[in-house]
Every structure is written in C-alpha cells, then in structure tokens.
A and B are shown apart, each in its own frame.
Chain A
Amino acid sequence: RKEVEQDPGPFNVPEGATVAFNCTYSNSASQSFFWYRQDCRKEPKLLMSVYSSGNEDGRFTAQLNRASQYISLLIRDSKLSDSATYLCVVLDTGFQKLVFGTGTRLLVSP
C-alpha cells in the first residue's frame, strides 16, 4: 500500500464549480499534513497546511480526519487559474522528510 494515496483524476469542472479532492495516508503516527500545488512541468509550491480543526484560506478549505487517516481539499468557485495538479503531502517526522502523493489533476474550463 502506498504511504499517501490520491485519485489521479483528472477532475474536469466548469468555472464556478465546487470540487473536492481526497487523500488517504497509511502511517497513523503522521502528525503534519499539507497540500502542494504543481503547475504543468513546474515546481511544487506549498498551498496550505492541514490542521486537525480544519482550516480555510480564501476559496480553499482543508480538512483532516485522523480516525480515518483521510485528508481533503475543497475548492469553491473554481477559477481557470486553479487548473493544476494538487499534491497531498505528509510529513514523516521519523525520517524528517515529506512523502508526496502522486497528485490529483484539476482542469477548470470556461
């Protein structure tokens, strides 16, 4: 089983739609979780951290369910510029490294 699993997509949505991505992780001892965004053939960039209580940054909401080992990202009012691949990332504190999911591709169309 992969350490971090994501649906690869692509998710095709119209502008203005709400879309949600899910991610599961296998290590129950994991403490820190993040979403990174990666544009085509570009470097990944930190989008937001995921906190236990859930957190919001503008149109983006991240949720964590420790019992189910499940992380989600909700994007409201999708923009064309949201088209990208979204990487679910878990911090492996034991080895002091980030473990990346394979990413979920989002395509927002006019």
Chain B
Amino acid sequence: EAQVTQNPRYLITVTGKKLTVTCSQNMNHEYMSWYRQDPGLGLRQIYYSMNVEVTDKGDVPEGYKVSRKEKRNFPLILESPSPNQTSLYFCASSFLGSYNEQFFGPGTRLTVL
C-alpha cells in the first residue's frame, strides 16, 4: 500500500530533551516536506527536500533540523524542544513537479511541557 508513515504519532516531552520524528514514504517520491499545523495559523512549511542530500528551509524553520540521507526517509529533529513547538506535525511527499498532490502522513501530535 502506498503510504507515508510517521512515528511517533503522539509524544509528550519536556523542554530541552532532544527528539526525532521519523517520516518514511514508499512511493519513490523525490519531494518531501514537513509542516506544522496550529489553530488559526493553518499548515506552515518547516523544511522541504527536493531529493537526497538536498534540503531547504520553509516558512518556519527555527528550532528544527532535517536530513535526507535516503530517498524514502526525512526525519525531523528538535534539538532542544520548547513549549512553542507544541503542535500537530505532518510529513508529506510527492513527485517533483506534482506538488499539488502531496501525500500526507497521519500526523504527530507533539506536546512540549
């Protein structure tokens, strides 16, 4: 089944404790992206990647890191999480040039205390 998977789905953590949210897709997509969704602000792009070893900042990259060592995986790293990073996070992927049809993962609900 074609899909984007994220882990964990839910996470409660404390300020400053490094964490990684994994994202994996099995559709051979070149393009992958991370979004956060907050009430009243909608989905905002954090980082994106056009292909292996090619990543770039989105609209709200502060406090986040990403890597793209393999085509299928695009982990999101929070080196020192803060409460303002409490949010719902979505990973998405698509073929290059087909950005309209991005396939989203199920989401990760993160709470930073």
A44 shortest CB reach to chain B, Å: 6
Pairs A–B under 8 Å by Cβ, sample size 27: A32-B100, A41-B88, A41-B109, A42-B106, A42-B107, A43-B105, A43-B106, A43-B107, A44-B43, A44-B104, A45-B104, A46-B101, A46-B102, A87-B43, A91-B99, A91-B100, A96-B48, A97-B33, A97-B45, A97-B48, A98-B45, A98-B99, A98-B100, A98-B102, A100-B35, A100-B43, A101-B42
- Which residues of A have CB within 8 Å of B105? 43
Task: Indicate with 1 or 0, residue by residue over A2-31, a CB within 8 angstroms of chain B CB atoms.
Answer: 001000100000000000000000000000
Contact yes or no, A34 B100, CB < 8 A: yes
Query: Nearest chain A CB to B77's CB is how many angstroms away?
Result: 20
The secondary structure that dominates the B interface is strand
